[in-house]
Structure formats: C-alpha cells, structure tokens
Structure 1
C-alpha cells in the first residue's frame, strides 16, 4: 500500500526520512561509480572523475526537483540504467570519431562530456514537450517487444560493460573480442565480480531489499581492500585491481567548457542517432518506472505532470553539469522500504550525494574494479530477467523472439536502427495477428434473414425458395491490407461453391467498421471486378461519409454500375428482395387479386363472398393512420393493396419504423387475439385498401357462419406460425 503522509512533519518523521535518504544515497553513489566506469574506459578512462561528478550532480538535481514535485511521494530520481547503457555507446562513438582525427585524450573527454550534456538538455526538452502537449499516454502504445528489446539490449550492454571495466577491453559481437575472458590475469577479478553479484542475490533472501545493496557494497569494499592490502604485496598486482589513478572528483561546467575548448560539432552530428536514443530510452524508461510505481503504490500518477517536471529537472541538470535522469522505480521503492514518508527523503538523498561530490575524494583509488564490474553485471542481469523472463513478452513466443531480435539488432547496428526496425516488426506482427481475426463478424443469407417488410405469402414463399441468392456479411473493425484480401477470398469462395442457385447479391454491412485504408479499397475493387464478371451485385450499407466518398472515387457507384449503397442493412436487404421478386415477375400486385388470395388462404370451400359482409372496406391515403399505439385492439385488418408501416414513438417523439407490410397480409392480429392495447402505430405509406374485421363482426361470424370463422382462425394460426418459424430460424442463425 502507498504510505500515508502525515499532516504534521515531526522530528521522528524527519529522522526516518534522513536515514532512508542516506541509505538510498549510498546505493546511488555506488551506481554512479559503476556507471562512470562503464562510460569512461579505454582511451577516455581519465574522464572517470569528471563523469562521476556529472552523474552525482544529475542525481542531486533531478532528485530534488522530482521529489518535490512528483505525484508519487516518496520518490527519488537519477540516471537510469538503460539510459546510461546508451550513454556508454554515445561516449564510445564520439571518442572513436575524434580518435580517427588524431585528437588528444583531453579533447576526447571534453567532447564526450559535451555530447552527454547535449543529450541531457534534449532529453529534458523532449520530456517537457511530451508533458506540455499531453502526449504522455501515447507512449503507452509503444509495442512491448520494442520495449523488451531495448531493455534486453541495455542489460547486455551493462553485463559486457562490467567485463570491460575489469579487463579494459572492448567487447563486441565478434567472438575474437571475447578472447580476453580466457586471460588468467583477469580471472580472479571476474570471479570476485560474480561473487559480489551472487552475494547481493543471497542477501535479498535474508534481509529487507533496501539494505542488501548498501551492505553488500560496504562489506565487499572493506573485505576486498583488506585482502589486497594485507595479502597482495606486489604494487603492480594491486594496481590491476583498481582503476587507473585519475585524481579527485572534478565538477563539470558545460558553459565554461564550451568557451574554453574546441568542440567538434561534426562528430556531434554524426552521433545524433545515439543522442536521440538517450532521449527515447529515457522517456520509455520513465514511462515504465511510473507505471510500475503506480501499481506498487496502488495510486494513479499524473503522467503528463511527471513528464513536465522530469523535463525541467533535466534541463536544469544540463546547465549545472549533470547527467540525464528520471523518476526511478528502484530508488523510490528503496526509499519507501527504508521507512521514508515525505518529500524530504528525496532531498536527503541529494544532500548526502552533494557532500560526497563537494568533498572531492578520489573514489577510483579505493573501489576495486571487480566490485564495479559485479554491480554492472548484477544490474544488467536484473534488467534481462525483467525484459525477457518476467515480461508479458515471454507469454508469446513470437513477441519473445521479436524482443530478442531487436536486442541483437541494437547491439550490432545501434539503438535507433533497432527501435525503428522493432516498431516495424511489431506493426507487421500486429497486422498479421489482426488479419487472422477477420473482419466478417457474421454471415447469413436471405433464407435465414429477411428485411422488416411483411410480404404476401406468395412473395414470402418465393423469397424463401430464392433466399440463397442473397448473402449478407456483417463487417467490423478496421479493414486494412492484412484483412481486406481475406474478405475477398471468403466472398469469392461463397460465390464459387454455390452452384444450384447462383449468388446474385452480396450485401456488405459497414455499420460496425471504424475505417479502411487505401489497400482495402483496392482489394474491394478486385472484388467488384470479380462480381461483375459473374453478374453479382454488391450492395453496401452503413457507409460513413468518408467511406462512401472512397468507394465513389474508386468507381463503385454510377449509372454504368449495378452496385448500390443504402443507409441501413435493412434497406439493403429489402432492395435485394425487391430485385429477386422483380426478376421472377412477382411484384406488389402479385398474380392473385385480394379476393382470390383470401379465398385460397381460407380454403376452396370458403369464398370471398361469404366473409365480405362481415368486413368493412376502407381506402387509405398516404399518411393516414390506421391504428394508434395504446388504442384498444378491437379489430383485425386484411391488407388488400398498398403499403403500411408499423411504427413506434421513440425518444423526443421521433417515429421509428419497425416493419413495412405490403398487400395480401394481415395486420393487428396479435393485439386482437390477446385483447391487449395496440403496441404500435400503423400508418399508410402509400395509397392502400384494407378490409377491417371488428370484434363484434367476428363474434357475429362465429354465430352465423362457424365454418368461415374456423377457416379464418386457421389462416391467422398459419400466418403466426410462419412468422414464428422464420423468427426462430433468424434468431438461431444470428447466434
């Protein structure tokens, strides 16, 4: 749980914060020593004290600003491990570029420090820009294999950096560079470094996490120095265990260095990829740290504010000679575990670090390289485990393989190339995975699904027989190059496999489609051409304005094209039904008159003349209301011709059409037989003729002509059974 801040800060609380800050400061200083040894080695090893001072300064400045402004109290900040790994690559790149021009050691060190300062300033600008423009949440969309890949690469760089600190060599992917590992001169130091890393792991099992690293560091520092002093008599052998004598800590003032030294901005420009990588890695590291700290503290952070304050901290650090840093998950949890409560704990870390910095001790003369290398190896191993073992990527072999591939590309070609290729690879994998889902949410034919039009039994039977000619596809999601071809292949297969009654109409419902790209339009152009070759009409529904414009521009609609577009799927299916009926020359008039239809439905013995006296003929103009919702259901209506609509009152009094009823059907039978109020309005959509049978007249028919009444009952039962059967098949198909 997140610690609760007390209302009044007392002496005891200040004491707890000061103690927690001191413990965290020891850990931070140990980190800084290892990081400086990682960055400044080989030809620029003499820059170790300058780099260490800059790292401690960065820890102080970012720590104070972040601890006083963060929304995740208590918290601390400083140079983060992945970013430092990239800085080591930046330092190597700048030093190599200057060495090729014959620059001396001092010039190389100053230029490396300027490059780190520039990267720190740009990191601050990028972080502040992300927060100021409220773009922090967009970083959450970075694919995890990319994050895992660059974290894994950072971990590997730290592990190899630990070996390089001990051996003074430059390890690469080339097997020959690792030959130094077989040199027995370095075997004891490498063994001690591994023992130090293993000792940290063992201590975590025996005591609280916040004590393990300080105790391990102090114990190994004291014991190893004692052993070297008392049991190693040869001065040269002793010197091999320490960094070359580089003197006391030196403060780095970038503004002064710019005015007194020649800076090779051409080499800086050639190192822009590494400088950009520092910015990107710091931003993503900060996102991961903030997200993880939110989970650990069970508290939501203001991500944009964190980006702004961390950005300002880095800009300030660059001016004061510090190294890029950000809110640190490990340091913040360390403070909490050590008993910190308030923001003062983060300030305490900076105060202790400041005392060490301004004391100006020659740290490199008493911290053995084995401890520095072991700490780097430990940190690198922990990052590797988090990136590849405990991460979500290990749940998917594909994501894990991509993360490993990205890490190898970064090691060989650099962070920029690795991250760019990683994003491309992750996008391609996403496209491949998303295309497997498919965009067809449901597929039915007119045999299972009708429009909302109730037609005459003759028309309904014909549409049922010819229902397989009309296919309806519900589409959903975003249609792109990966899924559009699958849509084409599915429809092509349906058309080719249906031989007995060839497909005539394909309804494509886009109402649940969020959008489509140009390649999807091109694939549908291919579908259009294929359908036109086979005399199949495409009918679109639910197109947004932008999608309709895209299809119109691609030549789907026009006087020379048979394809159609409708606002809703129901309108599209209704049009297809009309076309099928028109093809079979069974229009609204039907081949029966109303009289012959009713006589046929009632049975050959019951003529129209027997039931006509009990009904009232009524002619309706377009817009005339036959029933109103809520009225008594005191009649049943036989529709002779025209079209009526079943509507209900929607929100704000808007009329919603549920169904349309064409000639030769029955209306209002449900309420009539159940003796309940009308559930909807019935309005004539065109000039119509109806025959109305009132309840009084029906009762009279049952008394005077029970045979005709029984036939009428059978007609209603058959009609309701047909409607129920179709509804059941439609519901079954939709499920």
Structure 2
C-alpha cells in the first residue's frame, strides 16, 4: 500500500463517547464534514474495485442461500447505503457473506422448499427480524454481549461452516442433484449421484477453481513483472472472477453447452430492487426467532472483528454499539428491498481497505455500481454456469478453514480445545444451527466454568519489600496466626460457595490461626450472592474465634459494601494495603524500605 499523506489521516471514525444527539446515531454527520475531492477520489477507486468483486460474489452467495440470484444483487444495494449513514467503520464493506448465507438456507429450509414464495418470504423476514434485534441491542448498548463468544469457539464454527459450504457447492461442480444439512448427508448424497456427473460441467467448475486460485496468488506478481503500476495490477487481479464469468458465458454461448446439460443461472430480472415487506405473521416470527438471533450474533461478531482490525491499522476507532445500529439498519434495508440477511464481509472489507477507501461513502458508491449492474448487465447473466458461481464460493470459503486453531488450543488450553472440537464436530455432523447454538452455549459455559473456580492464592510477604506473593511460588514470610487469601476474580453467584469451601478447608488444620485477610486487589465486583457468602464466612469464623479482615478493596466495591450491613457486622477491619494489614495483625515493626531492592 502507498504511504499515506497527512491529508488522508482523517479524524477517528466514530463519535467520542461524550457526544450526544444526532451524531450519536448518525456518524455520517461527523465524517462528512471532512469530505473533500481527494477523499472522494479514493472512495470512488475503492468502490470500483469492490463492485467488480461483489457482482459475482452476490450472485454466488444468493445461490448458496438457495435464493434467486437477483436477491444477492438486491442485498448489495440499499444495505450499503444504510451502513454508510449509520455505520462507524470507514472500511467495512457490508453485503451477503458465506456463513450468513448458509445459516439463511438452513433456517428457511426448515420452513419451505427452496425456490418457493414461502422460502423467499422466510429469508426476507429473517433479514427484517435480525435487523430489528441488532437495532434494539444497539439502542440499549448491548454490544458487550458479543464478548461472551470466545474466539476459539467462533473460529471452530467458521472452520466447520467453511467445510460445509464448500461441500454443499460440489453438486454444482459435478452437475448433479444432491442435498443435506450436514456433512454426512451431503457426502452420502454426492457419492450416490456421482455416476450422473456431467463431465463438461466438471471441466468448467474445475478449471474455474484452478484459475481463481491462480488469480489470488499469481496474477498480480505477473502483471507487476510486465511493468504495470501496483494499483492497476491490483485492480486487474481483483477482476479475475469477472473474467471467469465472462469467459464461461462466452463458452456456453459459442458451444451451446446449455443444451448439453450445463446448468446456467437463467433469467435474472432487470431493474432496481423492488419494495418488499417482511411477513408479520407471529407464527413465522416464532419459528425463525432463534435463527435470526444466531445470525445477528454471528454477523455482528464477524463484522466488528473485521472493522476493529482495519480501524486499528489507521489509528481509528469504531463504536460497537453504533455498529449494531448500522448493521441493523442494513438488514432492515435488505428486507425492504428484496434482499436477505447481510453483514460485514472479511474479504471484501480487506479489498475495500487496500483499495484506499477513506469513508463509508465508498460503500454507497459501490451500491450505485451494483444498481447499475442490476439495470444493465442482468440479461447477460442468463448463460452464466452455476458451476462458476459454485467455484467462486469454494475459493472464497476455503480461506475460512483454519484447523491450526485445534493445534494452538491443544497446546495452550485443553478446555478451549474441547470446546472448539465439539463445535466443529456438531456443526459438521448435525448442522449449522446446532453448531452455532452449541458454540454460544459453550462460550457462556466456559466463562462460568472458569470463573466458578477462580484462582485463589495464599500469600506471604516477600522479604525486604511490601509485596505479597503466592507461598507456593516464592520464598515469603508468613505468620502462623495470620492467613492471607488473595482472590484473583470478581465474586459472584457462581463462585461464592467455592470461596467458602476453600477457606473452611484451609482452617481445618492445627495451625493457630487468629486472623483471616481477604486480599481483594483483583476483585472488581461482589454481587448479592457473594455478599451473603462473606456474611456466612464472617459468622463461621466468629464462632471459631477468628477475625475476618479485608485489604485493598477497590473504591466501587467499597461503595457497594457500605450500602450493606456487612462492614458493621464484620469482626475485623478493612485495610488500605495488605502490608498495613500484615503489620497491624502480626505486630511486626514498620520497616524503612526506601533502600530495599524489590
């Protein structure tokens, strides 16, 4: 990428948290103030490149979702305009993506057969309901909920989805009829129909896959070696899928391949997206509610992770809560214009970023390009082989497959490995909805499991310092009358009894303990259940003639404790530092440590 001039270092891409009013919900009011001719040029160039990439992708992902190809184009027009108004990322490119398309197919396929009006209505309603959920979460600032999805689990789900998507498209490569919602059914169906393979279709699909892989790695270096400028070489390399589309259409026309069994896209209506309305049947909403929620969560996580990565490269910021509103508005726009669920795509966002997009206006210009294609180019797509679109999908999704996550988690954390493995296996063996549901539940379960058994250490004084460390890891000073427990986690309902049991077990010894100090330097929260446990510990220790103390309690935690009766009933004291507690309770003289090495 070329070095950036000072002119291109625009202000941060989202309003500061302190801003209120219209700018909170309309980030366009911020970035549009800095808009100038240089930024316009950059956005137009990026839009041209992304439009070239998005036309075959939109058609292909609609095919993956089991929808008419024009719905892929419709989902790439108004949603991009809506994101340009409400979104905070300067580089995120919104539109149909592989994983969400697969989830749409799974959800709508449970209700109706592909190609039926009921199926299409379910997909449109899915976009509307998903958009509604995202908007509500954004207004109530619930973006933090995405943090409950662990990255390893999401990586496992996306890897399994990539395998499922690629396998589901092999039927178009072989030119056979096959189906299934999981890997076992898909493979079994493919094997059963392999004798029906259309060799011409296989040749077209195989050649397209090989060509697209070569375009990704070899075309740009080749063009650069021929003396083309980097920007032009990059543009031509990104146009590789369009070249595959053009050549394949020409081949079908010249050699009459449709009559020889090569499946083609067929009629694609010419014109702008129609005004559509989702179904407001509560019956249908109830049937797709969980699917819409899962699509919303997965789409948001994928989108925000891409947006944050790209924003960091230019020292910009995004606002996750406003991103929820931006993505919600995009999905509602998709539902109102004959589209289906959309989110920010990784591949096209990276292309948008590398092409020099400076503002979300690049997305709006891309929408204009797609609209122009829908008005003018759709009749030319009649003879486009479905095998070429399937090849486009396969090449795109294979980059999602990352089995290295299994190796990394196996070496670092076996619990994470188990979660990733279960997510992958369930997604492949049962289906995408079960897989993503399992991923969500596993992420929450892992959080509860880890925090229900927090790391708790008995600590002692490091000689010559005022620092306290784990007695099993360091040479420290301790007193037989004093037990100091450092709690390395917030205390809440899931781990409150764990702390009780640990203290009671530790006191079951011959040591003449008279004081127990809870060192709370890592405790950010004490909920009502944990408070009740502390009261129980205080009562039990009092019956044993032992005083309970606390040290290094954080301000917000202390404020909450002061609103209860616990501090008045506690048998001991609250010390500002653990060293103060050690000196007061052991009777050790205060030492001058100004010259001591720490």
Alignment TM-score > 0.5, same fold: yes
**Alpha-carbon offset, residue 366 of structure 1:** 1.8
**Which residue of 1 is the match for residue 63 of structure 2?**
37
**Which residue of 2 is the match for residue 479 of structure 1?**
491
8 Å contact 2:152–2:420 — kept in the other structure?
yes
The DSSP-based 3-state class of the residue aligned with 1:59 is coil
8 Å contact 1:410–1:416 — kept in the other structure?
yes
8 Å contact 2:81–2:364 — kept in the other structure?
yes
Which of structures 1 and 2 has the larger relative contact order (alpha carbons within 8 angstroms, sep 6+)? 2
The DSSP-based 3-state class of the residue aligned with 1:199 is helix
The DSSP-based 3-state class of the residue aligned with 2:112 is helix
Q: Does 1:124 align with 2:131?
A: yes
Q: Does 1:170 align with 2:191?
A: no
Q: Does 1:242 align with 2:242?
A: no
8 Å contact 1:443–1:474 — kept in the other structure?
no
Q: Deviations over 1:268-316 (max 9, x none)?
A: 5323222333333332232122112213434223444444344334333
**Which residue of 1 is the match for residue 573 of structure 2?**
566
8 Å contact 1:119–1:276 — kept in the other structure?
no
Q: Does 1:277 align with 2:294?
A: yes
Alpha-carbon distance in 1 for matches of 2:583, 2:350: 65
Q: Does 1:203 align with 2:215?
A: yes
The DSSP-based 3-state class of the residue aligned with 2:490 is strand
Alpha-carbon distance in 1 for matches of 2:41, 2:177: 42
The DSSP-based 3-state class of the residue aligned with 2:130 is helix
Which residue, out of 183, 197, 200, partners 1:186? 197
Alpha-carbon distance in 1 for matches of 2:52, 2:484: 70
Alpha-carbon distance in 1 for matches of 2:503, 2:363: 64
Which residue, out of 533, 539, 544, partners 2:548? 539
**Which residue of 2 is the match for residue 22 of structure 1?**
48
Alpha-carbon distance in 1 for matches of 2:135, 2:493: 37
**Which residue of 1 is the match for residue 245 of structure 2?**
221
Alpha-carbon distance in 2 for matches of 1:364, 1:60: 18
Q: Deviations over 1:513-556 (max 9, x none)?
A: 333456656766886787578x452423357475588785xxx9
**Which residue of 2 is the match for residue 314 of structure 1?**
331
Against the structure 1 CA distance between its residues 115 and 251, is the aligned structure 2 distance closer, same or farther, given a 3 Å change threshold?
A: farther
Alpha-carbon distance in 1 for matches of 2:90, 2:521: 47
Alpha-carbon distance in 2 for matches of 1:133, 1:568: 38
Against the structure 1 CA distance between its residues 387 and 140, is the aligned structure 2 distance closer, same or farther, given a 3 Å change threshold?
A: farther
**Which residue of 2 is the match for residue 81 of structure 1?**
98
8 Å contact 1:136–1:307 — kept in the other structure?
yes
8 Å contact 2:91–2:360 — kept in the other structure?
yes
Against the structure 1 CA distance between its residues 110 and 133, is the aligned structure 2 distance closer, same or farther, given a 3 Å change threshold?
A: same
Q: Does 1:61 align with 2:78?
A: yes
Which residue, out of 401, 411, 416, partners 1:384? 401
**Alpha-carbon offset, residue 327 of structure 1:** 4.3
Within-5 A mapping of 1:434-449: 434=451, 438-440=455-457, 442-443=459-460
Against the structure 1 CA distance between its residues 392 and 2, is the aligned structure 2 distance closer, same or farther, given a 3 Å change threshold?
A: farther
The DSSP-based 3-state class of the residue aligned with 2:442 is helix
**Alpha-carbon offset, residue 357 of structure 1:** 1.3
Q: Deviations over 1:372-409 (max 9, x none)?
A: 11111122211223994899999655434423422443
Which residue, out of 391, 407, 412, partners 1:374? 391
The DSSP-based 3-state class of the residue aligned with 2:178 is coil
**Alpha-carbon offset, residue 367 of structure 1:** 1.7
Alpha-carbon distance in 2 for matches of 1:317, 1:233: 36
Against the structure 1 CA distance between its residues 124 and 111, is the aligned structure 2 distance closer, same or farther, given a 3 Å change threshold?
A: same
- State the superposition RMSD in angstroms: 4.7
Alpha-carbon distance in 2 for matches of 1:545, 1:16: 52
Alpha-carbon distance in 2 for matches of 1:118, 1:408: 30
8 Å contact 1:248–1:360 — kept in the other structure?
no
The DSSP-based 3-state class of the residue aligned with 1:478 is coil
Alpha-carbon distance in 2 for matches of 1:288, 1:512: 28
> Structure 2: any 5+ residue segments left out of the alignment?
11-33, 221-232, 467-477
**Alpha-carbon offset, residue 31 of structure 1:** 0.8
Against the structure 1 CA distance between its residues 83 and 2, is the aligned structure 2 distance closer, same or farther, given a 3 Å change threshold?
A: farther
Alpha-carbon distance in 2 for matches of 1:180, 1:276: 30
Against the structure 1 CA distance between its residues 318 and 539, is the aligned structure 2 distance closer, same or farther, given a 3 Å change threshold?
A: same
Q: TM-score, normalised by structure 2?
A: 0.72
Q: TM-score, normalised by structure 1?
A: 0.60
The DSSP-based 3-state class of the residue aligned with 2:378 is coil
Against the structure 1 CA distance between its residues 257 and 123, is the aligned structure 2 distance closer, same or farther, given a 3 Å change threshold?
A: closer
The DSSP-based 3-state class of the residue aligned with 1:197 is helix
**Which residue of 2 is the match for residue 672 of structure 1?**
none
8 Å contact 1:507–1:573 — kept in the other structure?
no
**Which residue of 1 is the match for residue 29 of structure 2?**
none
The DSSP-based 3-state class of the residue aligned with 1:468 is coil
